[in-house]
């Protein structure tokens, strides 16, 4: 653990001026009163701002060394219970500190995430937490030059911006699909909504296992970019079974879709798990309470939020945790919905 040395340095207007090969005054004019500088200069400044991820520091205008007590967090949804659990961990971690949380909702769009990052950058946060590891080049540039600790959560990758806490979605998809095979199912479908990069990796894990078993069939995959819901899961399974009448199980991208699939099986008189197996993902609170109880993959969402804040606090104290990437893992939770036939 390295101590007492902060690696965080925010991008300044001086950095922009240097990159654009102009004076500090000209760079300031290009951003504040662009109409008084040439189009060529504006273009050079815009290119430097984009490359460096620069955002004007509003707080520094009042106090050059200002840094707020805000921890920013950007998630793609505020209604998805997955991120509610993350936020519980975040709020529990700041309890008893002078830190405050400011929440941004990117709504699964790269452009909105970039805009939110620029807002946070201008506020000189004490740290920033962002969901996922697949930021756009512009967003990544902002994150790399925020001048504060950054923690990417919900995923793992070899190239973190700063720190990362999550798990391997592809391996989790493999584990879920392998469980269905081990339970005796052979015509195993995949149903997924809101197919963000993490969902795509679960699908890749599913395909890995079926391909290895010689059972892959592209017709068994059904995805949509619609927001996930229980009702959508029911509609998807109805369409799926109408097309693939010999399917005997489905791996659902999350527990909402899986629950909708359970209800559709009930409507059709399909016995779960004897005639049809259903596998969910995330292990939301209700998964073990429904009947039959839902087999799923447990993800440690609360712990990710909690540990992300703890890492930020430690980093600001000069105590960075190594290695920068923490694979927090996942757990396969077999229950009644995949008991086998």
Query: What's the chain's average pLDDT?
Result: 91
Contact between 258 and 272 under an 8 Å Cβ cutoff? The reply is no
Per-residue pLDDT tens for 164-181? 999 999 999 999 999 999
Distances (CA, A) of 193 to 29, 130, 266: 47, 21, 21
Q: Is the pLDDT of residue 7 over 80?
A: no
Residue 341 is assigned to a structural domain of this protein: no
38 assigned to some structural domain: yes
Number of structural domains found in the chain? 3
Check if the beta carbon of residue 116 is closer than 8 Å to that of residue 131: no
Verify that 14 and 110 share a domain, yes or no: no
Evaluate if residue 4 carries a pLDDT over 50. no
> How many whole angstroms separate alpha carbon 58 and alpha carbon 56?
6
* Residue 156 shares a structural domain with residue 177: no
235: enclosing H helix or E strand: helix 230-243
Tokens read off for 332 = 């396969």
274: number of Cβ within 10 Å: 11
Q: Which of the 8 DSSP states describes residue 214?
A: T
Pairing mode, strands 221-224 and 277-279: unpaired
Question: Looking at the domain assignment, is residue 312 inside a domain?
Answer: yes
Do the bridges between strand 150-153 and strand 127-131 make them parallel or antiparallel, or are there none, so unpaired?
parallel
pLDDT digits (tens, 9 = 90+) for 287-324: 999 999 999 999 999 999 999 999 999 999 888 878 99
Please tell me which residue, 114 or 340, carries the higher pLDDT value.
114
Same domain as 265, residue 120: no
Domain around 47: 1-54
| Residue 186 shares a structural domain with residue 204 | yes
Residue 336 belongs to some domain of the structure: no
Q: Do residues 200 and 135 both lie within one domain?
A: no
What CATH number is associated with residue 220? 3.40.50.2300
Residues 143, 211, single domain; the answer is no
Whether residues 309 and 294 fall in one domain: no
The answer as to whether 338 is a domain residue is no
d(CA 158, CA 168): 11
Residues with Cβ within 8 Å of residue 131, at least 6 apart in sequence? 74, 75, 76, 83, 86, 106, 152, 153, 154
Tokens of 170: 């592809």
pTM of the model: 0.81
For residue 70, being part of any structural domain is answered with yes
Residues 147 and 102 grouped into a single domain: yes
Give the span between the Cα atoms of 328 and 300, in whole angstroms.
7
Asked if pLDDT for residue 340 goes beyond 60, the answer is: no
Cβ–Cβ < 8 Å for 172, 139: no
How does pLDDT run across 168-218, given as a tens digit for each residue? 999 999 999 999 999 999 999 999 999 999 999 999 999 999 999 999 999
């Amino acid at each position: 653990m390295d101590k007492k040395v902060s690696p965080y340095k925010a991008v300044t207007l001086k950095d922009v001026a240097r990159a654009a090969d102009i004076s500090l005054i000209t760079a300031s004019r290009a951003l504040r009163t662009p109409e008084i500088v040439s189009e060529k200069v504006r273009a050079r400044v815009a290119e430097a701002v984009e490359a460096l991820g620069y955002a004007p520091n509003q707080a520094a205008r009042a106090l050059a060394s200002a840094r707020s007590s805000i921890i920013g967090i950007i998630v793609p949804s505020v209604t998805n219970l997955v991120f509610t659990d993350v936020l519980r961990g975040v709020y529990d971690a700041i309890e008893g500190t002078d830190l405050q949380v400011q929440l941004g909702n990117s709504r699964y769009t790269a452009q909105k995430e970039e805009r939110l990052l620029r807002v946070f950058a201008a506020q000189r946060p004490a740290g920033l937490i962002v969901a996922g590891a697949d930021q756009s080049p512009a967003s990544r540039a902002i994150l790399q030059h925020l001048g504060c600790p950054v923690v990417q959560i919900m995923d793992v990758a070899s190239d973190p911006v700063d720190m990362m806490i999550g798990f391997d979605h592809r391996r989790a998809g493999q584990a879920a699909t392998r469980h269905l095979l081990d339970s005796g199912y052979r015509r195993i479908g995949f149903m997924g909504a809101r197919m963000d990069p993490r969902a795509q990796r679960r699908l890749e894990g599913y395909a890995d296992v079926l391909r290895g078993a010689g059972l892959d069939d592209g017709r068994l995959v059904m995805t949509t970019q619609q927001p996930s819901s229980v009702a959508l899961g029911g509609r998807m399974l109805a369409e799926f079974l109408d097309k693939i009448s010999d399917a005997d199980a489905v791996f659902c991208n999350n527990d909402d879709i899986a629950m909708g699939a359970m209800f559709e099986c009930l409507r059709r008189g399909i016995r779960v798990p004897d005639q049809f197996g259903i596998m969910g993902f995330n292990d939301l609170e209700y998964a073990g309470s429904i009947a039959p109880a839902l087999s799923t993959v447990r993800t440690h969402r609360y712990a990710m939020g909690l540990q992300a804040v703890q890492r930020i606090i430690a980093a600001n104290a000069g105590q960075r945790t190594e290695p920068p990437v923490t694979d927090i893992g996942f757990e396969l939770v077999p229950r009644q919905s995949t008991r086998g036939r």
